[in-house]
Amino acid sequence: MTANPAICASNLAVRSGDLLQQLHESVPLVQVITNAVVTNWSANILLALGASPAMADVVGEAGVFARSANALLVNLGTPNPGQRDAIIEAVRARQEAGTTWVLDPVAVGALPVRTKLATELLADHPSVIRANTNEVLALAGSGQAARGVDATAPVSAAIGVADTLANHTGGVVAISGQSDYLTDGTDAVWVDNGDALLTQITGGGCALGAVVAAFVSLHDTTLLEASTAAHVCYGIAAEQAARHASGPGSFAVALLDALAGLHPAMVRDGARVRIGADECDA
Amino acid sequence: MTANPAICASNLAVRSGDLLQQLHESVPLVQVITNAVVTNWSANILLALGASPAMADVVGEAGVFARSANALLVNLGTPNPGQRDAIIEAVRARQEAGTTWVLDPVAVGALPVRTKLATELLADHPSVIRANTNEVLALAGSGQAARGVDATAPVSAAIGVADTLANHTGGVVAISGQSDYLTDGTDAVWVDNGDALLTQITGGGCALGAVVAAFVSLHDTTLLEASTAAHVCYGIAAEQAARHASGPGSFAVALLDALAGLHPAMVRDGARVRIGADECDA
Amino acid sequence: MTANPAICASNLAVRSGDLLQQLHESVPLVQVITNAVVTNWSANILLALGASPAMADVVGEAGVFARSANALLVNLGTPNPGQRDAIIEAVRARQEAGTTWVLDPVAVGALPVRTKLATELLADHPSVIRANTNEVLALAGSGQAARGVDATAPVSAAIGVADTLANHTGGVVAISGQSDYLTDGTDAVWVDNGDALLTQITGGGCALGAVVAAFVSLHDTTLLEASTAAHVCYGIAAEQAARHASGPGSFAVALLDALAGLHPAMVRDGARVRIGADECDA
């Protein structure tokens, strides 16, 4: 039995389809400040999804754009000094406009410059933090850093820490792993959609952060529900792509095609969502 | 009846094929200073076309390279401070060498830093400005800026402004849209080749700017004719790619394959070009 | 008759397969500091190979990462000031840790900033220099620079210079061409694997530099043997990809798939390696 009747698995499946429909109709403008490895990939993922990406990451423009964008993604994968300044400019500017924003703290804990920046950015209350287990642990000041950009600890190792972090930021924390764990500090959702090939292409997680940004820009939903929809849609597209793939190269191509062909009904039918408690009350 | 007998639709189709042949034989060296999202894509498009791309965008090298390159592309999509300085260095250096250059003023009007830079660069007489409607309007100091990087106004809304702008720069202005409008201020051409999938991949327009740069480096042609050939070749390749595509991912892959397989005869047969006035005099 | 009994063609084929196996088991962490055009491509190539790439190229992090990485790649394709500082930081830091590192001196000789940097970096004894003929000649202070990023001289023109350069650095020099020449100053190997389509995609050589970095991080091998294995594996994957390709776009996709599906037995059977002297003594 859940406190919030909307937070149940079958409802979330239906709502995920509805939100994809809403996204297709509204074509949200997503400001993408991301790392040098995944700029092209993230932009193509957003276009395939039906959103409108723009990488405005120059000082003097990042703040202007953040005021008019529907959502902002900040990914700390290659945070050169100019981009760090642009990130701060964008995050502060979006505050006045109330723009939702997503923080993807790539390799936080393992590398000092981004760790300091990410910690400071927590004060700006990211609407969603999308990260792997090690990054969530590091952001919360606990746990071992990974050696590289990939997680070494299971998602379950960070559940309590993620709940606490979500309560601290007032937003959602989404941990990517074999199953993804999403929490707003009160309610929590597991998303089982996805495919292991996502870990064999670069930006498999980074692009998910961009998709989350597109979804949390939508109206008449909650951050947890919209974040869940993002993970479900991306994961279903990955499952479809994996069926047509001969390896990571053809998988990435097929993932773009699958995202572009995704319909609300496919989302409702394909969603594999679990909640911490049992199914819907009704 | 056109003033210039070379500017007629059937001639332009034949000439487009000839120029592709000339490009294949000369393998022009194109300096590409472009945005962080489309560097890889633009380089691959140029290689598939048969040109030789090089991204020399560092201060102290950009000018050196601009003197020996056959053409220079300047795309303002992510103009960080170092790249802005390199752009100015390259544009000034190519002046002495007479290198043709293409300006792609991405999101000009919507964002202040690039708007200022683009306006200044007009004094250096870009051989071709390739842009969407909103960008042309903004560059000319008129019209509404788009919210993001995509055009919101029809091409027809900027025809007069484009003619005036071409007369001001002494070069060509090419507006990308459902049909593309190219003008040198006196003559004008419409190119109907292309496919809507170009708007569902990132860099669909940016890469066209690179293709234009490769073509306007050729000898024994005019800027308008060479720019038309670029739009025709790119558009025909996009049409072929769309026939083999299941979505934007496979379309991008097929576009590279189609460009690499493009022959002059296919260009002559596939060109869909109209001029403002009627067909050829002869 | 070779001085070193391990340096014979059939041994190298077997060892190349063994080393791929070892790479699959150890999943080396490769720090990639590379040019803006090929970041995504290089990371995907490394992931497909079975390595773990990370692009840590920010001052304050590059050195930290170089101490824990298994290997470091430095590619000078777009050396902006911040990246140049990060390169120096990483190269110095990896010295203390003994991390092997690969230098890819893109367009050295043609452009002044990178030429100066590359020359300075020689003092840090790159484990492997992977380059084309013109770059090797330029790095050794002899020969004509190419106009762009592509080689204009045959590999044979730089053999003696490469041997001398390898003796100077104490590492391996690998020249990419129709056949690749690898030398440690004493022994030398020719690798005939590969496909001409590698020259029609951007980063065909740059990604090979990343693959070399992954292989030279392995234990119980020599720099020459490991570099040879890298060239063999990459070349065999390219041959397989070419069989399924309709052009450069589908070739790049198929190359990732082929690399991900590469098995040691395929490497042993497919290796085409020659040594300067005759076959094995035994």
Inter-chain CB proximity A250 and C261 less than 8 Å = no
What's the CA gap between B143 and B136, in Å, rounded?
9
| Chain B interface with C: residues with Cβ < 8 Å | 29, 36, 39-40, 43-44, 47-48, 52-61, 64-65, 68, 82, 252-261
Q: CB burial class (10 A; 0-12, 13-18, 19+) of residue C220?
A: exposed
| Number of Cα atoms under 13 Å in the Cβ half of residue B219 | 3
CB B98: neighbour CB atoms within 10 A? 7
pLDDT tens for A148-168 read: 666 778 999 999 999 999 999
B169 — pLDDT class (breaks 50, 70, 90): very high
Distance from CA of A112 to the nearest CA of B (A): 24
What's the CA gap between C94 and C112, in Å, rounded?
26
What is the bridge-based pairing of β-strands C180-183 and C188-191?
A: antiparallel
Q: Which three-class secondary structure state does DSSP give residue C37?
A: coil
Distance from CA of B159 to the nearest CA of C (A): 35
Phi and psi of C66, rounded to 5°?
-60, -25
What's the CA gap between C129 and C111, in Å, rounded?
18
Asked if residue B224 lies in contact with residue B182, where contact means CB atoms within 8 angstroms, the answer is yes
Among C53, C57, C261, beta carbon nearest to A202:
C53
pLDDT of residue A2: 44
Residue of B nearest to A241 (CA): B249
* Chain B interface disruption, residue of A57, A80, A256, most B CBs within 10 A: A256
What is the bridge-based pairing of β-strands B71-75 and B29-33?
A: parallel
* Chain C interface disruption, residue of A41, A44, A246, most C CBs within 10 A: A246
Residues of B whose CB is below 8 A from C256: none
What's the CA gap between B183 and C208, in Å, rounded?
44
ipTM of the complex in this document: 0.94
Q: What is the pLDDT along chain A (282 residues), one digit of tens a residue?
A: 344 555 788 899 999 999 999 999 999 999 999 999 999 999 999 999 999 999 999 999 999 999 999 999 999 999 999 999 999 999 999 998 999 999 999 999 999 999 999 999 999 999 999 999 999 999 998 766 666 666 778 999 999 999 999 999 999 999 999 999 999 999 999 999 999 999 999 999 999 999 999 999 999 999 999 999 999 999 999 999 999 999 999 999 999 999 999 999 999 999 999 997 444 443
Q: Which of B44, B41, B74, B37 is nearest to B57 (CA)?
A: B74
Number of CB pairs, chain A paired with chain C, less than 8 A apart: 94
pLDDT of residue B282: 39
Integer-rounded Cα Rg, in Å, for chain A is 17
DSSP states along B175-213: EESSSEEEE-SS-EEEE----GGGGSSTTHHHHHHHHHH
Among C40, C41, C81, beta carbon nearest to B82:
C81
Distance from CA of A60 to the nearest CA of B (A): 6
CA dist A102 → A114, A118, A122 (Å): 15, 12, 11
CB A239: neighbour CB atoms within 10 A? 17
Name the E strands within chain A.
29-33, 52-54, 71-75, 100-104, 128-132, 172-176, 180-183, 188-191, 273-275
Classify residue A78 by its DSSP letter.
S
CA dist A63 → A72, A85, A93 (Å): 11, 10, 5
Residue of C nearest to B49 (CA): C200
